Amino acid sequence: MTGLTERSLTAYCRTFVITLTCFLFAGPLSAQPDGKALFDANCKQCHTVTEQKMIGPGLQGIGQRRDMEWLIPWVKNSQAMIKAGDEYGAALAAEYNNLVMPAIALSDEEIVAIFDFVKEEEARAAAAQAAAPVAQAGEAAEEKGGPWTLLTVFLVLLVLAAILNRVKKGLENALLAKEGKKIPESLPAGKATKRWIRGNKKLIAIMVLLLFAWGSYKGWYALAAIGIHQDYAPEQPIKFSHKLHAGQDKIDCQYCHSGASKGKTAGIPSVSQCMNCHNYIQEGPVYGKEEIAKIYAALDFDPATGEYGDNPSPVQWVRVHNLPDLAYFNHAQHVNVAKIECQTCHGPVEEMDVLKQFSALTMGWCIDCHRKTEVDMAGNGYYDGFHQKLQEMHGPDAKFTVEDIGGTECIRCHY
């Protein structure tokens, strides 16, 4: 009986250990697919989770148009379904110029996870739309509590002060009448003002000094701000969202501004460069077809036929960043040699729907950067011989800022 009990206990312990091991490792192995990550990796280039069309149709409401029995094989191999005679698939392909949707090697569970993510985004968008009226009401309430409210309060207090002053004088006169004393005659407004001024010369002098100090302070900074256009964000003839292109779509800055690594100016891309993408993407997620149509108009391009006309017209872009003529700045020097990121001077462009001037771009701002920024000379071909000489003079571990190598000399930027 004892041996049987020991064998049973051993078997029980073995089973417990195996079960516990499976439980501990089953979580990561059986984790549910991440629908958002799968969508970003496989679908985002051609589809949106809204009803806006890109290269392919928007996926909003896809669950009402097609069931999963159709969607799973379609995602895996749409061309096979079209060749097999699927009428809906053939009509969909014809609507989008018969562009081939590549076969995607995903499991059924991963495809289901993608469309579950699309449904979640639909629900989130619907909830945000329902909450919009409430938010707008809150914004309206905040606007009511702005400067007009303060002005109203000030006027009310002024009226109350005048009323209380009249009541005070009335009570004083009543007290004088009760005591049988003569009530003083009311002076005209002009004489009363002169009497008040003569009796409060020190107070008036202090007020004048304070007003002069405040005016000098405001005037100084008003004059110092001349020519500084920080936060300047002009409206452009074509609405272009850097947040969408550089942020969401991860387009490198130099794909459009190729001059930044080659010369003085970064350059503005021509609208023909926009056609590298917008020859196919004819409707955007924010403005629909309206802004992209302006690109076509500038090129005299007909998206229906894919043909160009003979009457193109330039786009009158509004310049955002503008240094005075007396200052010289070279983009290539900073991009290629200094390896400075665009965001260092232009700010988080990838978060801007409307581009604005992020930095002050004043002489003091540039000099401050040159005084603080350490020059990375090691392995930089531009500084090979110069770096070796500096190491011989100051030691192999010496560090140098831009100021140390002449970066604050006037002739660097003014000549």
| Residues 12, 53 within the same domain | no
Residue at 280 is within a domain = no
Residue at 77 is within a domain = yes
Residue at 317 is within a domain = no
| Residues 206, 122 within the same domain | no
Residue at 5 is within a domain = yes
| Residues 52, 16 within the same domain | no
| Residues 91, 122 within the same domain | yes
pLDDT digits (tens, 9 = 90+) for 7-50: 454 555 555 545 544 544 444 444 578 888 888 878 876 788 88
Residue at 52 is within a domain = yes
Q: How confident is the model at residue 199 (pLDDT cuts 50, 70, 90)?
A: confident
Residue at 292 is within a domain = no
pLDDT digits (tens, 9 = 90+) for 120-142: 888 888 887 777 665 555 555 44
Average pLDDT over residues 399-406: 90
Residue at 162 is within a domain = yes
| Residues 14, 93 within the same domain | no
pLDDT digits (tens, 9 = 90+) for 355-398: 999 999 999 999 999 999 999 888 888 888 888 888 888 888 88
Q: How far apart are CA 301 and CA 19, in angstroms?
A: 67
- Residue found by looking up tokens 């496989």 in the block: 42
Q: How far apart are CA 102 and CA 316, in angstroms?
A: 39
Q: How far apart are CA 179 and CA 170, in angstroms?
A: 14
| Residues 125, 181 within the same domain | no
| Residues 120, 45 within the same domain | yes
- Residue found by looking up tokens 């309060």 in the block: 153
Last-in-domain residue among 174, 209, 226: 226
Q: What residue spans of 244-394 are helical by DSSP H?
A: 253-256, 271-278, 290-299, 331-332, 342-346, 363-372, 384-394
Q: Which domain holds residue 81?
A: 35-131
Cβ-count burial 375-392 (b if 16+ within 10 Å, e if not): bebeeeeebeeebeebee
What does the mean pLDDT of the chain come to? 83
SS3 of residue 67 by DSSP: coil
**Residue-level pLDDT at 15:** 53
Domain count within the chain: 5
| Residues 216, 199 within the same domain | yes
**Residue-level pLDDT at 257:** 94
| Residues 111, 199 within the same domain | no
pLDDT digits (tens, 9 = 90+) for 55-103: 778 888 888 888 888 888 988 888 888 888 888 888 888 887 776 677 7
| Residues 49, 125 within the same domain | yes
**Count of other CB atoms within 10 angstroms of residue 322:** 11
**Residue-level pLDDT at 30:** 45
Task: Judge whether 331 and 264 are in contact, CB under 8 Å.
Answer: yes
DSSP 8-state symbol, 301: E
| Residues 106, 76 within the same domain | yes
pLDDT digits (tens, 9 = 90+) for 281-333: 998 888 889 999 999 999 999 998 989 999 999 999 999 999 988 999 999 99
